[in-house]
């Protein structure tokens, strides 16, 4: 039974037709994903993004625009009682020289070319968002 909603906020940091991706382990699974994370109580969507970039990557961001909000019902891959709601923004990293992986779960980061022929993302909503990035930037 679904009795919890998990609101996730993610960012597509784009430069030179590449998007910043994180490789991290979560619940024993290795994932390629966009930076971001879970909304905390009492926090706005953009506040969440700023906090996640600060905590995970030691950088400040400038939010450019909203890119996509998940429209279909989706149960979390990791918790069967949890419904996901994911929202994605396009951002710029303001102080890239300060970039530093702060979160021990993040194995590495990579600038993934948006013109990659196949969709490299394993999670279904990330796949939709990567296709939207192709439409927007290619």
% the chain with pLDDT above 90: 94
For the whole model, what pTM was predicted? 0.95
12 phi and psi angles, rounded to 5 deg: -105, 100
pLDDT value for 5: 96
Q: What is the pLDDT of residues 110-131, one digit of tens each?
A: 999 999 999 999 999 999 999 9
pLDDT value for 78: 85
One DSSP character per residue, 41-68 reads TT--HHHHHHHHHHHHHS--EEEEEEEE
Which helix (H) or strand (E) segment is 130 a member of?
A: helix 124-137
Q: What is the pLDDT of residues 28-40, one digit of tens each?
A: 888 999 999 999 9
Assign domain 4-137 to a CATH class. alpha beta
Rounded distance between C-alpha atoms, residue 107 and residue 101, angstroms: 9
CA distances from 74 to 2, 49, 120, 124 (A): 10, 21, 20, 9
Rounded distance between C-alpha atoms, residue 24 and residue 31, angstroms: 5
- Contact partners, residue 28, CB within 8 Å, separation at least 6: none
Domain-wise residue ranges, the chain: 4-137
Rounded distance between C-alpha atoms, residue 70 and residue 116, angstroms: 23
Structure tokens at 122: 């394993």
């Amino acid at each position: 039974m679904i009795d919890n909603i998990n609101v996730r906020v993610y960012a597509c940091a784009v430069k030179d037709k590449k998007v910043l991706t994180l490789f991290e382990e979560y619940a024993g699974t290795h994932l390629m994903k966009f930076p971001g994370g879970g909304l905390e109580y009492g926090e706005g969507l953009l506040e969440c993004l700023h906090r996640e970039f600060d905590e995970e990557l030691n950088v400040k961001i400038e939010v450019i625009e909203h890119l996509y909000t998940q429209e279909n019902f989706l149960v979390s891959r990791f918790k069967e009682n949890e419904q996901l709601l994911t929202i994605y923004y396009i951002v710029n990293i303001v102080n890239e020289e300060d970039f530093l992986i702060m979160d021990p779960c993040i194995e590495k980061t990579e600038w993934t070319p948006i013109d990659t022929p196949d969709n490299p993302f394993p999670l279904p909503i990330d796949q939709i968002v990567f296709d939207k990035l192709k439409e927007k930037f290619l």
